[in-house]
Structure 1
Amino acid sequence: MSTPAHKDLDTLIRGVSPVLEVPFHDDGELDPDGFTTVVDHVLAAGVNSLMFPGFASEFHKLDPEERELLTGLLIQQTRHRQDVAAIVSVPDHATRTAVRQALRAAELGADAVNLLPPHFLAPSRNAVSAHLREVLLAVDPLPVVVQYAPAQTGTALDAPTLHTLAAEHPNLRWVKVESAPPGRLIAALAAGPRPLPSLVGYAGLQLPDALRRGAVGVQPGCSFTELYVEIWEHWQRGDEAEALALHTRMLPYLSYWMQNVELVIAVEKEISVRRGWFASAHCRAPGYSLDKEELKMIDRFCAEFAPLITELAR
């Protein structure tokens, strides 16, 4: 298996690396044209990597054919760009299926694989590690991000386990950390004999602390990517006060929305509709129904941040 050696993934998979949402029509049918529009607009915000499918993509509500179609569309838009990396996620529970899906992602042209550990019915830590090892070995040398999302999955991993996996499988290159709080694990991963860089998830609620402890980027949803890019650019310039000020303004919204994954998915789609990216904010059932006050909160968010968000500023 070949690795995308023409792309500098250490440079590309850092900073802001959004997880793509999936638009549906009002009747619940997939909207592929809306998806390609999302990819175009998110890339226009100045990011160098994208991930699909994640929780924000409603991966658990897509059938295999839909997943493959959208993966192909993403790679079609990124394959020939040396300034962009496509990270294809493999959230499948069965090890056999995860291996097959990871190999298929590589075949389609993914620049890296994001690997969500199995979690249904609480597999043991040894079983989880065995699953990760099999997928890492199958796609070697394709680079891999291991996603640690204990709040969503209940899976327990720690820095020694991840360092051991990385020592055995050099293609384990990053860890997406979504523990609460994430900072200690990020620092422990960065301090190992072979430091493992981290991307912080969970909408970047703890982004400043994560960056101070060594995180190399953030993987939020995609509907207001510009705000995260602004924070990242301030931080990179050494302007911590401006980065913190913007993050602090976002926190009242993020802390409410991140109480429930389906809630933040519904919110992000409403924002994208307001931006004109696609026509329907439909989320496949079961999902979260926004009430009048939550819709008003989205209105306030859009009004407050319009100067920084393309389309809303018009």
Structure 2
Amino acid sequence: MPTDLPAVPGVSPVLQVPFHSDGSLDETGFDTVVTRVLGTGVRSVMFPGFASEYHKLADDERGRLLEILLGHTRGRDDVCAIVAIHDHGTIPAVHRALAAAEAGADALNLLPPHFLGPSREAVSTHLSAVLEAVAPLPVVLQYAPAQTGTALDAATIGRLAARHPNLRMVKVESQPPHRLVEALATGTPSLPAMIGYAGVQLPAALEAGAVGVQPGCTFTEIYQEIWDLHHDGRPGEARDLHARLLPYISTWMQHVELIIAAEKLISVRRGWQESEHCRVPGWTLDRAERQSVDRFLSEFADRLPGVTA
């Protein structure tokens, strides 16, 4: 995939990691997840993210899963593999970023350090070090204040992009996202933004100029349809479909571990993996939450091939 990352808009799912019921890694299941998600026609995927339970993976597991993903994407010019760098320490973050680039990542997703409340200056220094080390590989900066407490602003991000042209995009997970999306687009340099947070605010973000959405991966087809409707000049239909999806994603996004668990159950019901196991500490779905997944699958079964009762 060429390194012109802004040319890769649209739905960019974060890949889920399946585990066996004993908590061990399900590599076959992950291979199926990658195959099924790429089969929806998306032009990019991201791994690992919060939806991948990256914080519960050992380094060797993470490396093996990355090898499986890049085995699908390496050498292809129709899909972009965005590899996430979450390390808090600058030296390990640089090492991991360089290793991902060497392995065949098409772009990186960079999460700012946040443990123990580093200063804005310290955060900027960390980000600059990684950006410089991997240039010209394109980088997406992940802005997730609710999950990390990191509070950069558009001006700070713009200064980083001015110094490091390979900072090509920002993943905005603030709520509401449209203000930062607009501020980034009108800044100098202008920066495109995609949104995360399960696309809860997707219609408003699209109206503000968002170039992509990065949700979980188990019902990618619905996000694709919303995206296509909007860009085919049918924004009313896009909003209507999103309005049907919204009660589910807004409920599940009350806690990140909750939507991870819900998506694991959806994945099992679609035949992608055998177990809905989430590594601990995690979330165990109760009766009402499982019923919400049942209702969701019943309502959208016609859009989700493979769904079983």
TM-score, structure 2 normalization? 0.98
1:72 aligns with 2:62: no
C-alpha offsets along residues 216-262 of structure 1, whole Å, 9 cap, x if unaligned? 01000000000000000000101001100010001111111000000
CA RMSD in angstroms, aligned pairs only:
1.1
Could you tell me which runs of 5 or more consecutive residues in structure 2 were left unpaired when the two chains were aligned. Answer: none
**What secondary structure is seen at the aligned counterpart in 2 of 1:174?**
strand
Counterpart position of 2:82: 87
CA distance in 2, matches of 1:218, 1:297: 23
**What secondary structure is seen at the aligned counterpart in 2 of 1:87?**
strand
- How many residue pairs are counted as aligned between the two chains? 309
1:165 aligns with 2:160: yes
Counterpart position of 2:5: 9
Counterpart position of 2:285: 290
Letter in 1 for 2:255: N
C-alpha offsets along residues 245-299 of structure 1, whole Å, 9 cap, x if unaligned? 0100011111110000000000000000000000000000000010011101100
Counterpart position of 1:312: 307
Counterpart position of 2:16: 21
Counterpart position of 2:36: 41
Report the Cα offset of residue 34 of structure 1. Answer: 0.5
1:254 aligns with 2:265: no
* Match runs of 1:127-276 below 5 Å: 127-276=122-271
Could you tell me which runs of 5 or more consecutive residues in structure 1 were left unpaired when the two chains were aligned. Answer: none
Letter in 1 for 2:104: G
Letter in 1 for 2:95: R
Report the Cα offset of residue 313 of structure 1. Answer: 8.0
CA distance in 2, matches of 1:282, 1:108: 29
**What secondary structure is seen at the aligned counterpart in 1 of 2:244?**
helix
Report the Cα offset of residue 11 of structure 1. Answer: 2.4
Runs of 4+ in structure 1 displaced over 4 angstroms?
Answer: none
Residues 48 and 85 in structure 1, CA contact (< 8 A), matched pair in contact too: yes
CA distance in 1, matches of 2:63, 2:116: 26
TM-score, structure 1 normalization? 0.97
CA distance in 2, matches of 1:305, 1:60: 31
Residues 273 and 280 in structure 1, CA contact (< 8 A), matched pair in contact too: yes
**What secondary structure is seen at the aligned counterpart in 2 of 1:214?**
coil
**What secondary structure is seen at the aligned counterpart in 2 of 1:152?**
helix
Report the Cα offset of residue 8 of structure 1. Answer: 5.1
Percent identical residues: 62
